[in-house]
Structure 1
Amino acid sequence: MSSRSAAKRAAGWGVVGLLAMIVWLVALRLVGDATSAPLDDALEHLVRDWTVWPRLAAGILVGASLGVAGALMQLVTRNPLVSPDLLGMTAGAQLGLILGATLPAAMGLPLIVAGGLAAAGLTFAAAGGGFASPLRLTLAGVGIAQCLSALIALFLSLNDRAAMVVSLWNTGSLTQFGWQALAPSLVLTPLALLVLLALARPLNLALLGDAQMRALGLSPPRLKVLVVGIGSVLTALAFQLAGPLGFIGLIAPNLLRLGLGVARPSTLLPLCALWGAALTLFADNVASTLALSGAWGSGVTVPLGVLSALLGSAAILVLLRIVPAAPATALTRNDGRSLRQWVSLPRFAFIMGMATLLLIGVGVFYRTGNDPLAYARALAGGDAQAWALADLRLPRLLVDAMAGACLALSGVILQTVTRNPLAGPEILGVSQSAALAVLLTLVLMPDVLPAWRFPIAWGGAALALAGVIGLNLRHGLEPLRLTLTGFALGGAALALIGMVIAQFTTNVAQALIWMVGSSYGRDWGDVTAMLPWMAVGCLAGLFVSRGMDLLQLGDGVAGSLGMPVARRRMLLVVMASFLVAVPVAVVGPVGFVGLLVPHGVRLLGFYRSRQRLWAAALLGACLLVLADLLGHAVMAPIDIPLGIATAALGTPCFLLLLSRTYFQRGGAGA
């Protein structure tokens, strides 16, 4: 099929689809009118003019904006699996929304635009700018989004009303009350599309590559900045109207490119606007139909944002099956130097053990008066008030230490199984899935025994990790595909979590704090419940250290030495999910510990798996206790949740780690 005939066919199907969605929307409105109390003609016209037609216009504008923005991002990154969500723009726009709520209404939209644009700029800068590879760009976007999400959770924890507003905004909706909110989009969206029409020739030349563009007198960096700016504005306009609807920008360009063969940007962009509008109305109509039919039970609805996230996650998984596999790749350190072992393992264990005990002591004695020695004497003398204070602080710090050890061990195992140095429980969606399993249990079965939280979290983590590994085995666990699969599963889990929090939770701020991770209020019951699970996981990890060493040599070498590679890999997957489930069940999905600690022990010179496991457990325990103490002290008397403190510490380290790696083709393994 020629490009011209493909474009005509795509335009025809797009028009038919859009008209069908409009008819469906009007039919749903008629069904709603038939089941409600009758209205007089004047009131009926008023309702239609102020709800139905603005909703239809919002769907077309939102879909067109997201479809074009997705196509632009994919063109700039030369990656068909990129969407605004992957570049951190959703979290940036959300942060702008929160800041705009505290300022005059006229500042709302500019701040949303500025937030999305700043997040995209940070992502590109952290990934290497114009030389960023798809994998580095994806990882940088995920890291920036997690950091911004933690910052948002901190703001929301201080304002219950704002937490409810943002939680509802996150679920997404095209519902409009009048035309006032649509005014900026009605002006700016056509203007942005006209600018893109003027850039048709440079956008077509962008397919040739940077070198060819320079030879033809074009500046690739300037074009990328302009395109990212326009895409950010379009995305922010869509988010301002409907909340985060991420799948449109991913699906529309790929349906046209892979399904109908439309490739030229000058043709693809207007068709993405048409198909994006049809897809958005389709998702909205499906959500409305499910709500009218009561398919999810009385009082339970599937918001548009949740449905779009689920569809987007499914689309990523389908596209990963369709898009051809790239050559085997690996992320490798760019300095190539071998680091000497700075300290022996026994000495390191002693130092970390003493440091952890010292930090726990500081946490117990912190702000106990002007004389810590007097407090110590009161403890020794059995003073009831002194012991009551210790009972509040000591269990929390012990939970921190055990959670840090488990997360660090899971990170070591995951990076060994995937042979990907930037794999972690939060990158692969394991923590989010375990948290969803626990949250659903607490909501649907509030009387369930606390001890059941651990196997339930284990089930959620194991399913997610098995899915991520299983879907990528035939591609050799290629890092980019592994990361995108984890992003898809984690995004679907977070969307369902947002729906559960919005519809079933009375204290939204407290639920959001738990979702970023918090050890606040943990007691001795949590310590005794967590201790045996952690001990079993740590001991089991040490028994498989030799097999982990063999797996690092490659599947072929390990198999030739007599090791059952498939069974050993599955055993390690089960163990990693187990170690993730233990802390998630108690403190929630704390991020960055399982990702960064394995690199810390490598920098100290521990390379053998047994050494790395011991060192990672000790370093992870010390790190999480330190993060909790800093969160408690920095904004006292406000207690910063544990997950927010680790994000503040972990994001700069993660971006620094990403900057010290490069995308090497033909690497061993993935």
Structure 2
Amino acid sequence: MADTVLAHRASRPFQPWMLAAGLVLPAAMLSLLSLAGTLPPALWTQALLAPDMSDIRQLLFYDSLLPRSAAAVLAGAALALAGAIFQQVLRNPLASPSTLGISAGAKLALALATLWAPGLFAFGSEWVALAGGAGALAIVFALSWRKGLSPLAVVLAGLVLALYCGALAAALVLFNEHYLLGLFIWGNGSLVQQGWSTVTRLAIQIAVVGGLLALMIRPLTVLSLEEAGAQSLGVSLHGTRLAALSLAVALSAFVVSGIGVFGFIGLIAPALARLSGARRLRDQLVWSPVIGAGLLWLTDQLVLRTGGIAGGILPTGAVTAVFGSPLLLWLLPRLRTAAAPPRSEAAPGSVSVGRPALIVGSLAILLALGLVLSLTLGRAPDGRWAIAGFAELSGLMPWRAPRALAALFAGGMLALAGCILQRLTRNPMASPEVLGVGAGAAFGLLLAIYTVSAANRELLLAASCAGAFAVLAVIVLLSRKTGFSADRVLLAGIALGALCDALVGAITASGDPHALLLLNWMTGSTYQVDGPQAVWAAGCAVVLIGLTALCVRWLDLMPLGDAPGQAVGLNLNRVRFILLGLSAVLTAAGTLVVGPLTFVGLMAPHLASRLGLRRALPQLAGAVLVGGLLMLVADWLGRMIAFPWQMPAGLIATLIGGPVLMWLLARK
């Protein structure tokens, strides 16, 4: 009998408590080491019961390290519990506060209220964050409603919304530099504490919401049934979903308002709980918070142990995003979706409208007029609008011409890269910004800046190209098995972009003097563009556009699928490699000038297609002209809107392009 029991125990699979112990015990040991390194254990009782205010070690022990560990445990548990609820209610294993845009919406709401409506905090910061998170979830549902709230559509809408909210938050930080460090560190999830007030408030909030969720375990379990089965058991599916989603949003908002944004904890912990054997909802709601608490606690302790490397202020939230993005990529192939890619609007089978040569010629004339107006129309030092004559132009050209030309050529290169990617992946939503190619280029550039003391422009371009090409290569590898399914390509790109952005955030949050310069560049600033840089951008654009023109035949065939290309003897692997390389170099060169977030690579090919330019060569030419015009106008608006202050051209293009991207997502 004993042998049978032992054999049964030995054959039992991995259990959730084993994983939880594997996270909590190392975190506790590291925490004890940190505490012992700050204060001798003999003084711990005194520091806990009656800390000596004159002893800095006891104050650090009681008011900083202990509440920091408690904040990590509470935040990790709350986000994990919220993620488990989202995944159960939406029947979506990728749903979490970060992938649904809820954390980003709460963060943006807090930033807006801090700068422009501080009176709202009289009711409590958690209510401001709750409004932002609820608004973000409502937008996500609106964007994915016509697609039946399918798992991929919901997550894709959430990630796109988070991307746009991040761009808006970057704009707020850029124009409030005196708040730069605080907003940047808080926005990336910092667990630094200066007392117990935040932790106490968060503990009460989590206890209340957790108690309400405990009362809903049975109705939440019934959510897995169909409508008729749930009604026969006396459960209102709509009411239960609304109540559960409201409580999950509240948990997310409480963490964001009290501590900051921690990426992907709500995704990782429930996934790990299920993988370790928690199959029933009751078990998932118990073990997900424990695993989430242990994971964030352990991550924070590792950050503390390596704090000297990053100046002691490395945001824990950015580090969790570094772990979470690979998990999102790993979970992505396990979602069911149609393998057949949708037909792109750029497909050559579409009927062209009008005469392509006439349309392209009109766009060229419009671009020339835009360039003339950009160089001549502006505001005088007293704020009045004025058109510069020939006499004034000689003095203004060295200031206006380099920026205008650099923005024009960078916009053309990003638009061309987006057109190539859309035709190559047969995905009308593909672009350097959405697929994370721009973020990869930014990460490559960041590494070059931080590792090479005097990096020249050629080295920066090579590093950016390497980062962009690496992202594209990973996307291709992850998407080939599904025939480049649109949703999978986009989610893979956004996950990689989030990973690169998290790495960039973790490095720049170290307090290095390069941080502000890098933030200006990431928002698309052309402030420091001079004549040689404009000439360099023009040279890159001319060469790369010429090389792309040689690939027109391939780009005509790629939207039709693999069969036509194979029928005419194309080596598809080599063709994809060349086209990906071209798009990577185009993205890197454009990104060096106007930053990684512009959405020009998404908008320009669509606008060219709307004008009737469907075949490869006309669409490529139209996209280049439209992209150049968009960035030229964005640069001019950036110089004029808030005169005498200036807004980055890339940021203006992002603020315009974000709603366009969401509109495209909302279409059937």
- Indicate if the aligned counterparts of 1:130 and 1:221 stay in contact, CA closer than 8 A: no
* Structure 1 unaligned spans of 5+: 379-384, 662-670
CA shift for structure 1 position 38: 13
* TM value normalised by structure 2: 0.89
Correspondence for 2:285 = 269
Correspondence for 1:363 = 374
Q: Give the whole-Å Cα distance in 1 for the aligned partners of 2:514 and 2:33.
A: 37
Counterparts of 1:75-224 in structure 2 under 5 Å?
75-102=88-115, 103=118, 106=122, 107-128=124-145, 131-209=148-226, 212-213=229-230, 218-224=235-241
1:565-611 Cα distance to aligned partner (Å, 9 max, x none): 11111111111101101111122113211112222222222222122
After alignment, is 299-308 or 389-398 more displaced? 299-308
Q: Give the whole-Å Cα distance in 1 for the aligned partners of 2:606 and 2:187.
A: 34
- Indicate if the aligned counterparts of 1:97 and 1:108 stay in contact, CA closer than 8 A: yes
1:456-490 Cα distance to aligned partner (Å, 9 max, x none): 21111111111221232233223333223222221
CA shift for structure 1 position 368: 5.3
Counterparts of 1:476-491 in structure 2 under 5 Å?
476-491=483-498
| 1:546 pairs with 2:553 | yes
1:323-353 Cα distance to aligned partner (Å, 9 max, x none): 255331444689x9x9753332221122111
1:496-540 Cα distance to aligned partner (Å, 9 max, x none): 222332225437555323212222332211111112221121111
CA shift for structure 1 position 194: 1.3
Counterparts of 1:287-366 in structure 2 under 5 Å?
287-291=303-307, 296=309, 299=311, 302-320=314-332, 323=334, 326-331=337-342, 341-366=352-377
- The residue identity in structure 2 corresponding to 1:642 is A
1:50-100 Cα distance to aligned partner (Å, 9 max, x none): 233322221221011110111122223322123222222232122133234
- Indicate if the aligned counterparts of 1:83 and 1:246 stay in contact, CA closer than 8 A: no
Correspondence for 2:3 = none
Q: Give the whole-Å Cα distance in 2 for the aligned partners of 1:188 and 1:8.
A: 33
Task: Find the partner of 1:566 among 573, 597, 600.
Answer: 573
Correspondence for 1:425 = 432
Correspondence for 2:650 = 643
Q: Give the whole-Å Cα distance in 1 for the aligned partners of 2:125 and 2:158.
A: 24
1:34-59 Cα distance to aligned partner (Å, 9 max, x none): 79x99997445544332333222212
| 1:402 pairs with 2:409 | yes
Over 3 Å counting, the alpha-carbon distance change for 1:209 and 1:307 in structure 2 is farther
Over 3 Å counting, the alpha-carbon distance change for 1:187 and 1:129 in structure 2 is farther
Question: RMSD of aligned C-alpha atoms?
Answer: 3.1
- The residue identity in structure 1 corresponding to 2:305 is T
- The residue identity in structure 1 corresponding to 2:245 is V
- Indicate if the aligned counterparts of 1:96 and 1:111 stay in contact, CA closer than 8 A: yes
- Indicate if the aligned counterparts of 1:93 and 1:112 stay in contact, CA closer than 8 A: yes
CA shift for structure 1 position 25: 1.3
CA shift for structure 1 position 399: 1.2
CA shift for structure 1 position 371: 9.1
- Indicate if the aligned counterparts of 1:339 and 1:605 stay in contact, CA closer than 8 A: no
- The residue identity in structure 2 corresponding to 1:203 is L
Q: Give the whole-Å Cα distance in 2 for the aligned partners of 1:152 and 1:386.
A: 36
Over 3 Å counting, the alpha-carbon distance change for 1:616 and 1:222 in structure 2 is farther
Correspondence for 1:611 = 618
Over 3 Å counting, the alpha-carbon distance change for 1:386 and 1:256 in structure 2 is same
Correspondence for 1:282 = 298
Counterparts of 1:390-469 in structure 2 under 5 Å?
390-469=397-476
After alignment, is 501-510 or 263-272 more displaced? 501-510
Correspondence for 1:60 = 73
- Indicate if the aligned counterparts of 2:525 and 2:595 stay in contact, CA closer than 8 A: yes
- Indicate if the aligned counterparts of 1:160 and 1:508 stay in contact, CA closer than 8 A: no
1:609-668 Cα distance to aligned partner (Å, 9 max, x none): 12211111111111221222233333333322222211222122222222223xxxxxxx
- Indicate if the aligned counterparts of 1:170 and 1:498 stay in contact, CA closer than 8 A: no
Q: Give the whole-Å Cα distance in 1 for the aligned partners of 2:296 and 2:146.
A: 31
Q: 3-state DSSP class of the match of 1:367?
A: strand
Task: Find the partner of 1:536 among 537, 543, 566.
Answer: 543
- Indicate if the aligned counterparts of 2:353 and 2:612 stay in contact, CA closer than 8 A: yes
Q: Give the whole-Å Cα distance in 1 for the aligned partners of 2:195 and 2:385.
A: 63
- The residue identity in structure 2 corresponding to 1:158 is F
Task: Find the partner of 1:581 among 577, 588, 597.
Answer: 588
Task: Find the partner of 2:27 among 21, 43, 47.
Answer: 21
1:4-49 Cα distance to aligned partner (Å, 9 max, x none): x9999424653574355323311332244479x9999744554433
After alignment, is 209-218 or 599-608 more displaced? 209-218
Q: Give the whole-Å Cα distance in 2 for the aligned partners of 1:17 and 1:6.
A: 20
* Structure 2 unaligned spans of 5+: 1-7
Q: 3-state DSSP class of the match of 2:549?
A: helix
- The residue identity in structure 1 corresponding to 2:327 is A
After alignment, is 529-538 or 238-247 more displaced? 238-247
Q: Give the whole-Å Cα distance in 2 for the aligned partners of 1:49 and 1:151.
A: 37
Counterparts of 1:374-393 in structure 2 under 5 Å?
375-378=388-391, 386-393=393-400
Q: Percent identity?
A: 30
- The residue identity in structure 2 corresponding to 1:553 is L
| 1:69 pairs with 2:75 | no
- The residue identity in structure 2 corresponding to 1:307 is V
Q: Give the whole-Å Cα distance in 2 for the aligned partners of 1:425 and 1:542.
A: 19
- The residue identity in structure 2 corresponding to 1:178 is G
After alignment, is 301-310 or 204-213 more displaced? 204-213
Q: Give the whole-Å Cα distance in 1 for the aligned partners of 2:46 and 2:214.
A: 46
Over 3 Å counting, the alpha-carbon distance change for 1:195 and 1:332 in structure 2 is farther
- Indicate if the aligned counterparts of 2:14 and 2:276 stay in contact, CA closer than 8 A: no
After alignment, is 573-582 or 196-205 more displaced? 196-205
- The residue identity in structure 2 corresponding to 1:71 is A
| 1:30 pairs with 2:30 | no
Q: Give the whole-Å Cα distance in 2 for the aligned partners of 1:577 and 1:72.
A: 39
- Indicate if the aligned counterparts of 1:98 and 1:162 stay in contact, CA closer than 8 A: no
Over 3 Å counting, the alpha-carbon distance change for 1:210 and 1:130 in structure 2 is farther
* TM value normalised by structure 1: 0.88
- Indicate if the aligned counterparts of 1:197 and 1:266 stay in contact, CA closer than 8 A: no
Q: Give the whole-Å Cα distance in 2 for the aligned partners of 1:641 and 1:306.
A: 25
Over 3 Å counting, the alpha-carbon distance change for 1:209 and 1:421 in structure 2 is farther
Over 3 Å counting, the alpha-carbon distance change for 1:208 and 1:633 in structure 2 is farther
- Higher relative contact order structure (alpha carbons within 8 Å, sequence separation ≥ 6): 1
Over 3 Å counting, the alpha-carbon distance change for 1:231 and 1:11 in structure 2 is same
- Indicate if the aligned counterparts of 1:590 and 1:642 stay in contact, CA closer than 8 A: no
Q: Give the whole-Å Cα distance in 2 for the aligned partners of 1:185 and 1:8.
A: 32
Q: Give the whole-Å Cα distance in 2 for the aligned partners of 1:551 and 1:214.
A: 50
- Indicate if the aligned counterparts of 2:425 and 2:559 stay in contact, CA closer than 8 A: no
- The residue identity in structure 1 corresponding to 2:272 is L
- Indicate if the aligned counterparts of 1:66 and 1:249 stay in contact, CA closer than 8 A: yes
CA shift for structure 1 position 414: 0.8
- Indicate if the aligned counterparts of 1:395 and 1:522 stay in contact, CA closer than 8 A: yes
Q: Give the whole-Å Cα distance in 1 for the aligned partners of 2:350 and 2:644.
A: 42
Q: Give the whole-Å Cα distance in 1 for the aligned partners of 2:194 and 2:313.
A: 20
Over 3 Å counting, the alpha-carbon distance change for 1:25 and 1:454 in structure 2 is same
Correspondence for 1:381 = none
CA shift for structure 1 position 191: 1.0
